[in-house]
Amino acid sequence: MADRLAHSAKNAGELMSSLVNLLHEHMLKYNWVGFYMIEKPLTAAEPPMLVLSAFEGAMTPHTRIPLNQGICGAAASSGKTVVVDDVSSDSRYLACSIETKSEIVVPIYVHAEVVGELDIDSHFPAAFGCEDRELVEHCSLLVGKYLEQTPE
Contact 77, 49 (CB under 8 A): no
C-alpha distance from residue 108 to each of 37, 65, 92, 113 (Å)? 9, 16, 20, 8
Q: Which is nearer to ligand SME, 103 or 132 (CB)?
A: 103
Scanning residues 64 to 123, which ones bind ligand SME (CB under 6 A)?
A: 65, 70-72, 93-94, 96, 103, 119, 121
**Residue 53 interacting with ligand SME (CB under 6 A):** no
Using CB under 6 A, pick the residue from 29, 62, 123, 145 that binds ligand SME.
Answer: 62
Chain contacts with ligand SME (rule: CB under 6 A): 32, 34, 60, 62, 65, 70-72, 93-94, 96, 103, 119, 121
